[in-house]
Amino acid sequence: MARFYVTTPIYYVNDAPHIGHAYTTVTADGLARWHRLLGDEVLFVTGTDEHGLKMKRAAQANGLSPKEQADVYSARYEEAWALLDISNDDYIRTTEPRHHKAVRALMQAVYDNGWIYPGTYSGLYCVDCEGYYTETDLIDGLCPVHRRPVEFMTEENYFFRLSAFADRLVEWYSDQPGAVTPESRRNEALGIIKGGLQDISVTRSTLDWGVPVPWDEDHVFYVWYDALINYATVAGYGTDDGRFKKWWPAVHHLIGKDILRFHCVYWPALCMAAGIEPPRRVSVHGYLLVRGEKMSKTAFNQIAPADLVADFGVDGYRYHFLRDQSFGPDGEFSYEGMAARYNADLANNLGNLLARVSAVVAQKCGGIGPAPRPESPLAPLASDVYDAAAAAWEKVAPSDALEAAWRLVRAANAALEEAEPWRAPPGPEVDAVLGDALEVLRIVAVLASPALTRASAEIWRRIGLTQPIAEARLPDAGRWGGYPGGLAVERGGPLFPRHRD
RNA sequence: GGCGGCGUAGCUCAGUUGGCAGAGCACUCGGCUCAUAAUCGAGGAGUCGUCGGUUCGAGUCCGACCGCCGCUACCA
């Protein structure tokens, strides 16, 4: 059985979940669901990143312990994912014992292999970034990202000999040409590597909220390196060797372009230093722009998933982000665009197809759905559509996969116009056309189920199928002719009521 | 400053190795009335950022420029 291990970044808890976080998570969920349909053994994980100075200070401000603060914040992400029907198999929090074990074991291996040395670091530090800046980075003496004062800090800490890995990284990139996609991001990572890598500080001695360094317990690991290791933790690193061998290195990371440097340069190097293989695949996506601008706290243009779910439902939400935002480049998000897509694809095309078919089946077939024609004119298209959808998911292009499925929806609507079964007397010809339409509904429900977690099951139920759609297995379930006929078809209310503003 | 990307129909975006400009939405006209003012058909629509070059032929290749963005650097 094939295996599929897919991850989202673990989100830093000092922020409310917004549609940018959810975009990565929903895409990963769609991929996980597609692979489950294929019968793959799937490990899909998301979680939260909970250490660091910023968390410690937030806790102090609220009179809580850092762990209590992290519990509150982490729960917000879990709620958001529950709301969006995210089907993660595990949820990793960096404060868990298993993660501390993994971080300590992995970094100890790096240390034992001679890639870590003690040093002194001093500079201007931005607490919000958890990072150092040079004078020239600052804007008006403030952090360029957060526009807040920086602090001069000096600390004894440990450095990772990143500079020693430039050649091996370049070699890795040439051996694994598809490891980082899209190609422009791969080139960007190579640019960073070829531009010269400096050793990086991987510990902090001025902070106690983190994973203690095993060979020097007064230090904790810098939150970024702690965080990256979560992907190994989940696979069993440091706690379950058998499990780790099973899932590593065939891991597929989904990330936003803002953290490319960490995932495509530092993380592979750290893996090499620890003596494990770098991740097999990293897919990088762009930003969701709101009126041409990146979403940010300071721009006050962050959008909460719950607000959109309230207006479009979970299916409407997931469909929009998977279908309308192509994975890779930046994409423009607009409420109006979302509403237009919802009405066109979900209400008018798919929802209305179900409504008209079930109405005519009630009138002409006594409510019993006929079987499709084996030699239906729609059959070849259905085959093409399945191939296109499978290829699209394979290259992490959910929008192409869904676009393909809707070609079949449009063809079914057109075929009905052509045959006009509502004008014809009951009989074999009417049965043939309606059977074909029901078969399209069955197939589209399967192909769209990674996006439409609820409507897909409802379509199956209404056309009389009793098997849970989650148990459907591709490619068989996508082949023409699977609808048996002779099933009671329910005439229900609108599957996707039109959106009006 | 260096490296890289982007700029295509009103909107959101596709355009593989150069070969008659595409999709969806929106819009216009027509058909249909089973259906959620739905659906089907037809149609208009673009100096492919600007200028120049290579070529029989350039959205695509080359150069310059304008605008937006990303990464990176501060060295004379």
Q: Is A21 a catalytic residue?
A: yes
What pLDDT, on a 0 to 100 scale, did the predictor assign at position A128? Answer: 67
Which of A 35-94 have CB under 7 A of nucleic chain B?
Answer: none
The whole-angstrom separation of Cα A231 and Cα A226 is: 10
Strand B–CB A496 distance below 7 A = yes
Which of A 205-224 have CB under 7 A of nucleic chain B?
Answer: none
The whole-angstrom separation of Cα A256 and Cα A284 is: 5
Q: Which CATH number fits domain A334-488: 3.30.200.20, 3.40.50.1370, 3.40.50.620, 1.10.730.10?
A: 1.10.730.10
Residue type, A490: E
Nearest residue to nucleotide B4, by CA–C1' distance, is: A188
The whole-angstrom separation of Cα A231 and Cα A78 is: 18
Strands ordered across the beta sheet of A203-204: A203-204, A216-221, A212-213
Domain spans in chain A, listed from the N-terminal domain onward? 334-488
Query: For residue A302, what is the DSSP state?
Result: -
Residues with Cβ within 8 Å of residue A29, at least 6 apart in sequence: A44, A84, A85, A86, A87, A88, A318, A450
Strand B–CB A257 distance below 7 A = yes
pLDDT in tens, chain A (501 residues): 789 999 999 998 877 888 888 999 999 999 999 999 999 999 999 999 999 888 888 888 889 899 999 999 899 999 999 999 999 999 999 999 999 999 999 999 999 999 999 988 777 776 666 666 666 666 666 666 666 677 777 778 899 999 889 888 888 888 887 888 877 788 778 878 877 788 888 888 878 889 999 999 989 998 888 899 999 999 999 999 999 999 999 999 999 888 888 999 999 999 999 999 999 999 888 888 877 777 766 666 778 899 999 999 999 999 999 998 888 888 888 888 899 899 999 999 999 999 999 999 999 999 999 999 999 999 999 999 999 899 889 888 898 899 999 999 999 999 999 999 999 999 999 999 999 999 999 999 999 999 999 999 999 999 999 999 999 999 999 999 999 999 999 998 999 999 887
Q: For A338 and B23, how far is CA from C1' in angstroms?
A: 18
Which of A 270-309 have CB under 7 A of nucleic chain B?
Answer: 294
Q: For A20 and B72, how far is CA from C1' in angstroms?
A: 26
Q: For A258 and B59, how far is CA from C1' in angstroms?
A: 30
Q: Is A332 helix (H, G, I), strand (E, B) or coil?
A: strand
Determine contact, residues A227/A92, Cβ cutoff 8 Å.
no
Q: Is A252 a catalytic residue?
A: no
Matching residue, tokens 């009179």: A63
Strand B–CB A420 distance below 7 A = yes
What pLDDT, on a 0 to 100 scale, did the predictor assign at position A299? Answer: 63
Strand B–CB A500 distance below 7 A = no
Nearest residue to nucleotide B33, by CA–C1' distance, is: A422
Q: Which of A382, A379, A393 is nearest to A451 (CA)?
A: A393
Q: For A438 and B27, how far is CA from C1' in angstroms?
A: 33
Which of A 341-360 have CB under 7 A of nucleic chain B?
Answer: 343-345, 347-352, 354-356, 359-360
A9: its two tokens: 């970044």
Active-site residue identified among A257, A294, A395, A499: A294
The whole-angstrom separation of Cα A22 and Cα A218 is: 37
Q: Which nucleotides of B are covered by protein (CB under 7 A)?
A: 2-5, 11-14, 24-26, 31-41, 70-74
Strand B–CB A334 distance below 7 A = yes
The whole-angstrom separation of Cα A289 and Cα A292 is: 5
Beta strands (DSSP E) in A24-162 are 41-49, 90-93, 116-126, 131-133, 151-160
The whole-angstrom separation of Cα A309 and Cα A19 is: 11
Instruction: Quote ipTM for the complex.
Output: 0.86
